[in-house]
Amino acid sequence: MTTRLALAVAVTLGLALPAYSAVAATPAANTAQQANPFFADSPLPLHYPQFDKIKDSDFAPAFDAGMAQQLKEVEAIANNKAKPTFDNTLIALEKSGDILDRATTVFFSLVGADTNDVRKKLQADYSARFAAHSDAIALNGKLFARIQTLYDTRSQLGLDAEGVRLVEKYYDNYVRAGAKLNDADKTKLKAMNAELAKLGTTFSQNVQNEVNASAVIVDDVKQLDGLSAEQIAAAAEAAKARKLDGKYVIALLNTTGQPPLTNLRNRDLRQKIYEASITRGSRGGQFDNTALVSRIMQLRADKAKLMGFDNFAAYNLTNQTAKTPEAVNAMLGQLAPAAVANARREAADLQAMIDKEQKAAGKPTFALEAWDWAFYSEKVRQAKYNFDESQLKPYFEMKSVLEDGVFHAANLEYGLTFKQRTDLPVYHDDVTVYDVFDADGSQLAIFIFDPYARASKRGGAWMNSYVSQSALTGFKPVVANHLNIPKPPAGQPTLLTWDEVSTTFHEFGHALHGMFSNVKYPYFSGTAVPRDFVEFPSQVNEMWADNPVILKNYAKHYQNGSAMPQELLDKVIAAAKFNQGFATTEYLGAAMLDQRWHQIGPDQVPAAKDVMAFERAALEKDGIYYAPVPPRYKTPYFSHIMGGYSAGYYAYIWSEVLDANTQKWFRENGGLSRKNGDHFRETLLSKGGSVDAMELFRNFAGHEPQIEPLLEKRGLTEGGGKK
């Protein structure tokens, strides 16, 4: 892996190798290397991975040889007797670790998208070794001395702005990785990083394994009343896959809320599904994560103290746009009261609906519970706006949403065109591949689309880069979007919910950020920006989902091609702020919980038995605890904060401030147009991390971000957020 990526692993994931030595090449070893697809650049277009030739047995040899190769390269740089220069130090580091970079990029992409037992074992076996490899580079004293020299003389090196920034970022990352610690503290740090790497891998694997193990089994189809015929058929197929013929399996997603709760009329089954979801990772057994949480938080707090910070949030936020925990607390604290007030008002509407229905049926009423919210909010939405999800879904066939919606918006805004290709290998039959062409007809990128949920795939939705753009390497981007849409039975169309439509647009915003990258150095490519900025371009791209011009182009009935009626289209737009009290409160619950975990000192970390009590107390202290609206993720299955989003889950709402300002800018400047899209691309999307994030925003918008547009967007203004 390049030093840039090695440090990214070490710093953002908390990962930590003894020195590896290259094995003497033998004829047999040379033959094996030639057969291993990671030992040379892929010959496929844009260096697209050779998925048809990659075997699980290729990874370990590539990891071992790649780490040995990079350490040899780093030693040569560190021990170079020539005076440190930008080229012989930083450019050399940027070019180091090619074998490891290729192998780890594909490996970790597949671990997320299509894992198996072999890959899980490799992940567990190598996590600490990768972390130690990062430390072997970041804590190399001779190497850091060269970087320090360049940093101290950066104004005299004759570099352009991007070159100066590269010097500064390398220096900052090495300092954050512990380069200035004494030898004893470096030894402590290496041990912490190694243990954190192992624990993080175990946590993520426990989460995925328990999601699959916690599926709810239903014996009688009558209990599934409210689900569509397609959903019931999918549940039957899922049961058959588990050798439970005649039964039905409701699979879980890795969120607190579960999609079937919106439609299931059987309240007992709704409660069963909800409780199966919310107790994951904390009910004992092999997948219980509470002890892991306690140990991870202890190690992070200890690491922060070792690095000279009061807590891990203070350490982790120094290179984000927020800078300090106090800034994050202030923003979240400003939103929480209005969000909860809005949620309580929504809850009153739901309770009124419950009371009305129970009275009409001659039955006693009951108090709204968390497992009732999705079901009755859908009823209230139908009553308020006279439509429900079942009316929308026939107009949201997945391929139409992607090609006639997402791609069409990118064409109108940026001039991009797309062509599906079937000649490139894929790692799973569900995957579709597209060439992406710029407005001048030249190839911009390759886009991989992987939409369906499966047992081998982690939860959520995400984008990753298989190949990152860089003028230094001459590479163009190969990027992928991954979703978790339930796959319908064979022969049935894939019809999306509105939330799934929005997610498809959102993730493609990340893809655009990667595809539009136009930077010199790999370090700055694509989405290599602060965590609390990276969600901004993707959130902006969501705005086109309900844009009338775009919506009319893709919202067509999957059977007869008829356009969504204007009346229904208007209702979709009018309902945009519906249920925002719930949506904001469940998000803020998770974001504030993340901060509470990472703003404690080493002597405040709870034991495993007290993890859930700590969570409850933290939510109550922040005024965000509201039983009918639990956090989007509870601690034992909160994978974001055990990975790259530690102390950073606030990033979504922080970025949404910028998003709301940007949406306002587009409206005030004529909306969807090539002129506006090109301005956004040129001033912001193409720059990656080569310019300070907030400077990029100011260059685009012409002013500092303001919070009022977000409050309006979320329905949290005086009139919308308070009783």
Task: Enter the DSSP assignment of 458.
Answer: -
Query: In which residue are the tokens 């071992």 written?
Result: 64
E strand or H helix at 135, and its extent? helix 117-138
Q: In terms of residues, how long is the chain? A: 723
Catalytic residue positions? 507
**How far apart, in whole angstroms, are the C-alpha atoms of residue 68 and residue 100?**
9
Could you tell me if 287 and 281 are in contact, meaning their C-beta atoms sit under 8 angstroms apart? yes
Which long-range CB contacts under 8 A does 119-126 form with residues at least 24 apart?
A: 119/56, 119/59, 120/205, 122/56, 122/59, 122/60, 123/201, 123/205, 124/198, 124/201, 124/202, 124/205, 126/60, 126/63
CA 226 vs CA 223, 270, 357: distances in Å: 9, 11, 16
Distance CA 127, CA 560 (A): 51
What residues pair up with 216 in beta bridges, in sequence order? 250
Query: What is the 8-class DSSP label of residue 288?
Result: -
DSSP line for 581-594: HHHHHHHHHHHHHH
Q: How far is CA 549 from the centre of its chain?
A: 29
Element (H, E) at 432: strand 432-437
- Cβ burial, residue 141 (10 Å; 0-12/13-18/19+): exposed
Q: Where are the alpha helices (DSSP H) in 307-436?
A: 312-316, 325-360, 373-385, 389-392, 398-400, 407-414
Assigned token pair, 265: 């009329």
Q: Which of 399, 578, 573, 565 is nearest to 496 (CA)?
A: 399
Closest-CA residue to 586 (of 487, 664, 499): 499
- Give the angle subtended at the CA of 199 by the CAs of 70 and 604, to the nearest 5°: 120
Q: Which two tokens stand for residue 19?
A: 């020195």
Structure tokens at 242: 């588990």
615: its two tokens:
């969570």
Q: How far apart are CA 78 and CA 146, in angstroms?
A: 7
